[in-house]
Chains A and B, each alone.
Chain A
């Protein structure tokens, strides 16, 4: 069918268009779009947990912030750190932290799970806020951005905005296709099965705990990827990047876009970051822009009350397709 071919090729078309974006030569918009794409990675990683595995984590900013701090601590003051090993190191530490906390938090369910993930993220917040390890509440600057060298030639220099943007786009596309691949595999189908009915999956002989832990660790690692890129972009880290406001914001992106759909997470990240930019725009809203969080808060509440399937669900409604949850249920 035409419709299927269209939706299959759509991601490639979007990536192609986005890749050409730096040619417009607008520093402001290239930076804004980088931020959007980083948040898209972050939202997709959380969607793997919330939308596909059925685990509502309210501490996902922990991985985002942890990876940023790993980069900041690895980056020497005057010499650029190598992208080759600092990125794998940041992701590896996030995966290790996710495995360690995952063993504990996965012993709990429902409301407990939400609170315990939040509490562990908050613990990490206090580690960086109270101790001198990461510069306390002031944070640390990352003076030189990472580079990727092969021998003596510099392949990628992240000081250059265009190169940074393309790396971010490459990572976003990579995350999207990786997750799509994983979710289409038998592992991914098992995760969705666990979301719908954990006990039945256990009765069928699936090692539910191990599957959930693997999903938790993968989400942590990808959250770390987003955090690493964000730290490179802003050139500095402070405890705020792993505060629970960040966890709330990314959860909002997932729901706003429509959870359980990867493109929904991307749409949610776009919508959320752009909304934030618009609402806090002083030229448009004057003094009200200072209190933009009021409008954001009301909007979040309205989405929670009236738009549970998010923007992707809204689009499905217009196309008169059944919501994705019903389709999933039919498969299992």
Chain B
């Protein structure tokens, strides 16, 4: 493996890892703050990709499509929290699993009714449709770099939101003691709605920006969901920092695994998870 090839795989791994972070950060926030296990989180990723595809083919421009789709996903997130998830906060995890499992089936069938069962592709935006030559016959697409950049910016913004703003303080307080926050006069229900909508929008956004790289297919949500579960388990539930570390780890492990040992690449992430479970059952950044 020469240097340029190694560099390409490294960039691919980082880009995939950063994309995983967008999906899993929402998942881990919802776990950590509301104590909800959400199997339907992968469906939001799928909805994002399909929205990007259908709006891009209507408007002819991916950027416009994404700008139009984001408010839609925020509204979807708020509506789901208000109508369904709100009733599950005090319930056993078992019922959360069941309800969100049912939700997956509903999303898949609605997707099939609205958008059909075909595989679609989305064109890379013309502005970013170029590649940087590395050697004579190897080059790196600009679009992948752009995605990595956007993901990094969003990760920084998320960090700033949670650690440095007043809203972030309320979110963190709500995670550790819901009743206390409420008696201090903070509308915890509104905060839950916002956090949930944020998670939905992040997952959907990941689906939108990744649509030109991977084709838009039915069931695309379930693979992402399981990988994100592994990310959350490795990183530690509720830890955004942990989600970042684990996402990058898994992104690199899977990318290099597929190049070096393609037969067992699918299993590498689970072996990683098993090792972490033996070593630190609460996850890398989890609280005991």
Contact = CB atoms under 8 A, between A and B. Distances in A.
A119 B263 contact: no
Contacts of A305: 87, 95, 99
A51 to B, nearest CB: 10
B101 A252 contact: yes
Contacts, number: 121
A289 to B, nearest CB: 12
Contacts of B95: 255, 304-305, 308
A298 interface: yes
Nearest to A131: B263
B109 A297 contact: yes
Interface residues on B, range: 35 or more
Contacts of A251: 94, 97-98, 101
Tell which of B103, B104, B105 has the most Cβ of chain A within 10 Å: B105
A240 to B, nearest CB: 12
Contacts of B232: 115
A122 B270 contact: yes
A255 B109 contact: no
Contacts of A301: 84, 98-99, 102-103, 106
Main DSSP-derived SS at the B contact region: helix
Given A56-B93, A116-B233, A126-B267, A300 B101 contact: yes
B259 interface: no
B93 A291 contact: no
A115 B229 contact: yes
Interface string A94-123: 000000000011011011101110111011
Contact of A119 (B37, B226, B281): B226
Interface string B231-265: 01100010000000000000000000000000111
Interface string A285-327: 0000001011011111101110010000000000000000000
A299 B39 CA distance: 17
Interface stretch (B8-16, B205-213, B271-279): B271-279
B236 to A, nearest CB: 10
Nearest to B101: A248
A119 B230 contact: yes
A176 interface: no
Contacts of A328: none
B136 to A, nearest CB: 33
Given A56-B94, A118-B226, A123-B267, A297 B277 contact: no
Contacts of A115: 37, 229-230, 232-233
A300 B277 contact: no
B222 interface: yes
Given A115-B37, A115-B232, A294 B263 contact: no
B105 A296 contact: yes
B266 A297 contact: no
A216 interface: no
> Which of B87, B98, B266 has the most A CB atoms < 10 Å from its CB?
B98
A19 B266 CA distance: 45
B81 to A, nearest CB: 15
Contacts of B113: 291, 294
B270 A119 contact: yes
Given A294-B110, A297-B106, A118 B98 contact: no
Best-surrounded residue of A110, A126, A244 (most CB of chain B within 10 A): A126
B229 to A, nearest CB: 4
Contacts of A299: 102
B32 to A, nearest CB: 10
A111 B93 contact: yes
A270 interface: no
A297 B226 contact: no
Contacts of B222: 244
Given A114-B93, A119-B226, A252-B98, A130 B266 contact: yes
A293 B108 contact: yes
B37 A297 contact: no
Contacts of B31: 111
Contacts of A248: 39, 97, 101
A304 B102 contact: yes
A116 B277 CA distance: 9
B112 interface: yes
A320 B164 CA distance: 55
Interface of A: 50, 56, 58, 104-105, 107-108, 110-112, 114-116, 118-120, 122-123, 126-127, 129-131, 244, 248, 251-252, 255, 259, 291, 293-294, 296-301, 303-305, 308
19 contacts: A56-B93, A104-B274, A107-B277, A112-B237, A112-B281, A115-B230, A116-B233, A118-B229, A119-B233, A119-B273, A122-B226, A123-B267, A130-B263, A255-B94, A291-B113, A297-B104, A298-B106, A299-B102, A304-B88
Given A123-B267, A130-B263, 20 more contacts: A56-B93, A105-B277, A110-B93, A114-B93, A114-B97, A116-B277, A119-B226, A126-B270, A127-B266, A130-B264, A131-B264, A244-B222, A251-B97, A294-B109, A299-B102, A300-B99, A301-B103, A301-B106, A303-B98, A304-B98
Interface of B: 31, 35, 37, 39, 84, 87-88, 91, 93-99, 101-106, 108-110, 112-113, 222, 226, 229-230, 232-233, 237, 263-267, 270, 273-274, 277-278, 281
| 10 cross-chain pairs, A with B, having the tightest CB-CB distances, nearest first | A297-B105, A300-B102, A126-B266, A294-B109, A123-B270, A301-B102, A304-B99, A297-B106, A304-B98, A107-B281
